[in-house]
Each structure stands twice: as structure tokens, then as C-alpha cells.
Amino acid sequence: MNNVFAGRQKLVIYLTMIPGFVVFCLFGIVPSISTLIISFTNFTAIPGIPASFVGVSNYIHIFVDNAQGVLQSLKDTLIFAASVTVLQNAIALWMAHVLTKKFPGVKFFRTLVFMPAVLGVTIIGLMWSLIFAPSGGPAAGILSLFGTSSAFFGSSRFALPLVIFVQIWANLGFTTIVYIAGINTVPVELGEAARIDGASNWLNFWKVTFPMIAPSLTVGVILAAAGSLRTYDLIYVLTDGVNNTNTLGMYMFNTAFQGSSNLGIGAGIGMIQFVLTIVVVLALQKYLARREEAMS
């Protein structure tokens, strides 16, 4: 298409685009391709130590020397991601189903469920750490009524389920919005007709609404899966990866920036996480797309 701006003005257009483009190359393209390169080096976070290429030795370290660590991390990641994806979508579906009805306070409830999205991981993490404080916290108080106690985030049995709970709590509103948008595209008349024909509310939802929001399900599931396979900031606040909560993201971060500060090995773990995420997301996408076709 031809440009209505000519001569000097055209030059201005190009000149003003340069800074943004430089920023994009420098902090977008370069870092995203160099994780792979760094995974073949022995970079450390400690300044002043020269780095060199070490071939695949970081991967040998990850998979052979420290196989236990990566296996445990894979297990934690899969449990975390699968639980979050399934539960978050199931609960959000129910929430959206109810929140698209008309009843007093519905707007207030929508706002409340969405609020964590704005609070950020530090506030959310510290708030739940407080509630699950092993001595004196409200949750401990409730347990003591039953004559029992728990270390919560400090317990190897409960830390992961609790982390999963907080992760879902924080992102539920977002997934719910996706489903609300989907349900709003379903014509109201359809549900009304089914209801007059005597379909129960539950049947109505499964037989009428649910098949019609197949595209929303695809979006909701993919986003939750990709997000939960990559995230680690909330886990960092809650447990810092101890007690079976060492997901690949957490493992990568702690390897790279804590203790030995080995950026090369960290980048290797980052690549494993990246490949896992891509494989899972592509598989889900294929499956859900086929399901969408079958539904329509």
C-alpha cells in the first residue's frame, strides 16, 4: 500500500521505529535464542570468571551425574501442571456457568475472583504463607480444633498440594473470564428452549452450553498448561522449591541464581522445560482442535 506521508516525513517514520526495533532485537530475539547456546557453556553468575564452550557436559551433568534431581523435578512439574490445568479449568467452568446467571451480587463476585490477578506473586505468596503459618496461623488454629497440626508449606506431604491450591486460587479469575466470554456467545434462547423441554440445569449445561464453548475450552486448557509448566515465581515465594515443589522452572532458577550459580546447567534445565512445554502444548492443541471439529 502506498504511503500518504512522503519525503522527509517518510524518513521520520523509519527513524522513530529504530529504538523500538533495537530494544526488540536486544531484549527479545537475542535472549530467546541464546538459552540454547548458554546451555553449552560453563557461564556462572559469579563475575570475573571467563566462560567457554563445554559441549554437552551440562546435559551429562543433568541427566547422568544428577539424574535423581531432574527426575524428581520432572515428577513435581507434571503433578503440578496436570493438577493445576485440570482443576483450574473445571472450577473456572463451574464459576463461569454460575457467574453468567443473573442474581444479586454477581458483579461483586466476578470482581472478587479476578482480584488476585492484580495482587502479584509477592502479596499472594506472603498472604497464604501467613494463613498457613505453622504456629498461630488461622489454618493451624482450625487444625488444632481437631487436635492435629501440620507444617503446611514445610511438610513434604502437603507442600505440593498447597502450592497447587494457591496457584489455582491466583489464576482462577483469569480462566473464568475466558469461559464467561465463551458462554456469552451461546444464544440464550437455546438454554431457555432446553429448559422448557424439561432439561435440568445440569443436563442443560453439559448438553447445550459445554459443546458450544469448545473453542474456549481449548484456550483455557492451553493457557493453563503452558502457564503452569513455565511458572515458578509463586513457588519461589511459597517454598523456594523444597518439599517436592521443585518444578523445572524452580530448578532452573535455583541452579542458575542460587548456590553454585551455574548459568550453563541452569540454561540446560531451561531447555528441558522449554521442550517439555512445547511438546505438551502441541499435543494438547492437536487433541483439542480435533475435539472442536467433532463438536461442531
Give yes or no for a contact between 216 and 179, defined as CB atoms under 8 angstroms apart: yes
Residue 182 is a binding residue for other proteins (CB under 8 A)? no
Quote the CA–CA distance of 98 and 112 in Å, as a whole number: 14
Per CB under 8 A, 117 contacts other proteins: yes
Minimum CB distance to other proteins smaller for 43 or for 210: 43
Q: Segment contacting other proteins (CB under 8 A): 54-62, 91-99, 147-155, 207-215? A: 91-99
The helix/strand/coil state of 50 is coil
Q: Is residue 190 a contact residue for other proteins (CB under 8 A)?
A: no
264 three-state secondary structure: helix
Rg, C-alpha atoms of the chain: 24
Q: Does 133 bind other proteins (CB under 8 A)?
A: yes
Region 18-47 residues binding other proteins, contact defined as CB under 8 A = 19-21, 23-24, 26-32, 34-35, 38, 43, 45, 47
Burial zone of 176 (CB within 10 Å; 0-12 exposed, 13-18 middle, 19+ buried): buried
| 48 sits near other proteins (criterion: CB under 8 A) | no
The residue within the footprint of other proteins, chosen from 70, 164, 252, 288 (CB under 8 A), is 252
Rounded distance, CA 79 to CA 89, Å? 15
Q: What CA–CA distance (Å, rounded) separates 257 from 254?
A: 5
Fill in the per-residue mask, 94 to 113: x = in contact with other proteins (CB under 8 A), - = not in contact: -x--xx-xxxxxx--x-xxx
Q: Is 257 in the site for other proteins (CB under 8 A)?
A: yes
Among residues 60 and 190, whose Cβ is nearest to other proteins?
Answer: 190
C-alpha 140/C-alpha 131 separation (Å) is 8
With respect to other proteins, which residue has the nearer C-beta, 219 or 294? Answer: 219
Residues between 229 and 248 with contacts to other proteins, criterion CB under 8 A:
230, 232-233, 236-237
Question: Hey, which residues between 49 and 88 contact other proteins (CB under 8 A)?
Answer: none
Q: Is 131 in the site for other proteins (CB under 8 A)?
A: yes
When the beta carbons of 37 and 67 are compared against other proteins, the nearer one is 37
Which residues make Cβ contacts (< 8 Å) with residue 194, sequence separation at least 6?
203, 204, 207, 208
- Among residues 188 and 294, whose Cβ is nearest to other proteins? 188
Nearer CB in complex with other proteins: 101/293? 101
Q: What is the CA angle 10-15-18, rounded to 5? A: 135
**One residue of 137, 161, 211, 215 binding other proteins per CB under 8 A:** 137
- Work out which of 42, 72, 129, 285 binds other proteins, going by CB under 8 A: 129
CA–CA dist 254, 260 (Å, integer): 9
Q: Return phi, psi of residue 179, to 5°.
A: -75, -35
**What are residue 44's DSSP bridge partners?**
262
Kindly state the smallest distance separating residue 82's Cβ from other proteins, in Å: 18
Q: Which is nearer to other proteins, 159 or 177 (CB)?
A: 177
- And the C-alpha cell for 284? 494438547
